[in-house]
Amino acid sequence: MVSVLIVEDDSAIRSALIRALTAGGHAVASAATGMAGLSSAVDGRPDVVVLDLGLPDIDGLRVLPMLRAVSSVPVIVATARDDERVIVQALDAGADDYLVKPFGAEQLEARIRAVLRRLATATPDASVTVGGLTVNPVTREVTVDGIPVELSRKEFDLLYLLAQRAGEVVTKREILAEVWRQTYGGGDRTVDVHLSWLRRKLGETAAAPRYLHSIRGVGIRLVDPSADSGTAAGGSASGSS
């Protein structure tokens, strides 16, 4: 059980979040203002804080450094502004992750899990290795057979997501939600284009894949090319609901 503190001024969202997270088996506390949130974060010692940026009393971007001064609790920022600058500011101010409204309960839970997992595995070497491919999320460096590969931000995020779940089929919908924080998918070639670029940079093509295998109509699976490719496709493709 994870204890979550929700700092959100909109009562409808607040109660919806409490209901959703409680249903998911979490202990949930909530605050409607930045000041109340700060004191709850200090007194209640939650495992994770979900912080809305648009608070009535203090801007969420100013709550972050105050919170960071007294606590190292992981913070997921929820914002209605998908402005890149705001998100970068929030991450720089100490947020661990972010969500753009509107989002679903599953997404929020996935973020909470991811943040806590990162916290648990925050060892000096957190890199993921699949065959000759090494992805280091701390230094954001990628090597293939020891040779460094230059990736753009989104390309890195995409590869890291796939590498973390090596052998599993990851749906494009999941990728859009995880990497692009878009809850609605479809009609958009963004993932495809980035995958193609990623293939180029890893030195492979769709016709002759090594690490990145497209499963038509389902998603993408990252595999270790040195292992036998005849193993069953990952079973956790979570449909397209």
Partner 1 sequence: MLRTRITWLAVGIISAVVVSFVIPLCLLVRTMVHDRAMAEARVLAQSTATLVASVDDLTRLAVVIDPVIQAAAASSAGPIHLCVTLPDGTRIGPADDGFDSDAAALIERAGTQSASFTQVTGESADVLTPVTVATGTVVVHTSTHFVYLQSRIWLVWATLAGLGAVIIGLGAFISRRMAERISTPVTEMADVAHRLREGDLSARAHTSAGASPTEVTELGTALNRLAARIAELLAGEREAAADLSHRLRTPVTALRLDTDLVADDAVRDRLRSHVEDLHRVIDSVVTEARRTSRDDMTAAGDLASVAAGRTAYWRPLAEDQDRSLAVEVPSTPVFVALPSADLRDLVDTLIDNVFAHTPEGTDLEVTVTATDGVARLAVADAGPGLASVDLVERGRSGNGGTGLGLDIVHRLADRAGGSVRLGRAHLGGLLVEVQLPHLPSAD
Which parts of this chain interact with partner 1 (CB under 8 A)? 10, 12-13, 16-17, 19-20, 23, 54, 78, 80-83, 101-106, 183-184, 186-189, 192-193, 195-197, 199-200, 205-207, 241
- By beta-carbon proximity to partner 1, the closer residue of 78 and 161 is 78
User: What's the 3-state SS for 96-110?
Assistant: CEEEECCCCHHHHHH
Instruction: In the chain, count H helices and then E strands.
Output: 8, 12
Residue 140 CB, shortest distance to partner 1, in Å, is 21
Least distance (Å) between residue 50 CB and partner 1 = 12
Least distance CB 31 / partner 1 (angstroms):
17
* Secondary element (H or E) of residue 6: strand 3-7
Cβ at position 105, least distance to partner 1 in Å:
4
Q: Minimum CB separation from partner 1 for residue 230, in Å?
A: 23
Q: With contact defined as beta carbons under 8 Å apart, do 143 and 130 qualify? A: no
> For residues 173 and 240, what is the distance between their CA atoms, to the nearest angstrom?
7
Name which of 128 and 174 has its Cβ closer to partner 1. Answer: 174
Nearer to partner 1, 84 or 228 (CB): 84
> Rounded to the nearest whole angstrom, what is the least distance from the CB of residue 123 to partner 1 in the complex?
34
Q: Which CB sits closer to partner 1, 131 or 197?
A: 197
Kindly tell me which of 102 and 148 has the beta carbon lying closer to partner 1.
102
Cβ neighbors of 124 (< 8 A, separation 6 or more) are 138
CA torsion, ordered 160, 164, 169, 174, to nearest 10 deg = -60
Q: What angle do CA 209, 210, 216 make, to 5 degrees?
A: 40
How many residues are present in the chain? Answer: 241
In this structure, are residues 3 and 29 in contact, taking their beta carbons and an 8 Å threshold?
yes
Task: Compare residues 2 and 13 and give the one whose CB is closer to partner 1.
Answer: 13
What do you get for the CA distance between the two ends of the chain, in Å? 26
